[in-house]
Amino acid sequence: MSLKALLFDLDGTLVDTDPVHLAVFAEILAPLGHHVDDAFFRKYISGGRNEEILPRFFPELDEDEIRRRGDAKEARFRELASQVAPVEGVYEVIAWARQQGLSVGLVTNAPRENVDFVLPVLKLEDAFDIQILGSEMEKGKPDPAPYKAALEAFAINADEAIVFEDSKTGIISAKGAGIFTYGLMTTHTETELVDAGADIAIRDYRDQHLWVSLEEKLK
């Protein structure tokens, strides 16, 4: 089967938003005595949905209050995220995909409000043929459902797509759907990404290993 589509996560994959999310969770969890540093963020937060993350720290809260606090957290994120920067080389890889006639999809656990906020900041609001949001599905990442939904939307098989992810949660989701996955070392180390199932770990989209691999997949 030939390559037909590139599928991208959002946070930490298209854009370096993780420092902003970390800062907001640090504000939220400081009253509980948690120091949210990079290691804490990677272990307990990275790639997850608010409805899964927040109950770990606030088990006494009901679903409605968890939802309210999650909405407040994302509103605070948007207050701080107006200057976020794209991951190096992301525009080049999307342009390359278009030149090759490939489809391009977004598959993220981020809420709709964040997607609609961040993509215009990056000037990528028209870059994606489909947008699959785990936050709007019964099951988000790490369940493979979001990536399976992307394959179904494009009417392609798993071996006709590749995924770009930065979190263990996202990698587990993509590999669970049977898709070849690049792990970006924006959040985790190469070892952590490979241990989670990534086929290749790359620094960013200008990593020579990526371009050699992409050219091979077109043959």
pLDDT in tens, 48-95: 889 999 999 999 999 999 999 999 999 999 998 888 889 999 999 999
If asked whether residues 114 and 168 sit together in one domain, one would say yes
Tell me the whole-structure pTM to 2 decimals.
Answer: 0.86
Q: Are residues 107 and 44 in the same domain?
A: no
Pair (96, 68) in one structural domain: no
Q: Are residues 98 and 198 in the same domain?
A: yes
Q: What is the pLDDT of residues 140-193, one digit of tens each?
A: 999 999 999 999 999 999 999 999 999 999 999 999 999 999 999 998 999 999
Of 110, 102, 134, give the one whose Cα is nearest residue 14: 110
Tell me how far apart the alpha carbons of residues 126 and 132 are, in angstroms, rounded to a whole number: 14
Confidence of residue 47 (pLDDT cuts 50, 70, 90): confident
Same domain, yes or no, for 111 and 66?
A: no
Q: Which helix (H) or strand (E) holds 69?
A: helix 63-80
- The verdict on 120 and 164 lying in the same domain is yes
Contacts of 152 (CB under 8 A, 6+ apart): none
| Unique residue bearing structure tokens 């993780």 | 18
Considering the domain architecture, whether residues 50 and 100 belong to the same structural domain is answered as no
| Structural domains in the chain (count) | 2
Do 90 and 140 lie in one domain? The reply is yes
Whether 1 has a pLDDT exceeding 60, the answer reads: no
Q: Do 27 and 97 lie in a common domain?
A: no
Amino acid found at 72? A
Residue at a domain's end among 28, 46, 80: 80
Catalytically annotated residue among 11, 16, 18, 166:
11
pLDDT at 36: 94
124 and 188 share one domain: yes
Contacts within 8 Å (CB) and 24+ apart, 213-217? 213/182, 214/93, 214/96, 214/162, 217/3, 217/162, 217/180
Q: Are 105 and 198 members of one domain?
A: yes
Asked if 76 and 92 sit in the same domain, the reply is no
Range of the domain at 52: 18-80
Tell me whether residue 16 is one of the annotated catalytic residues: no
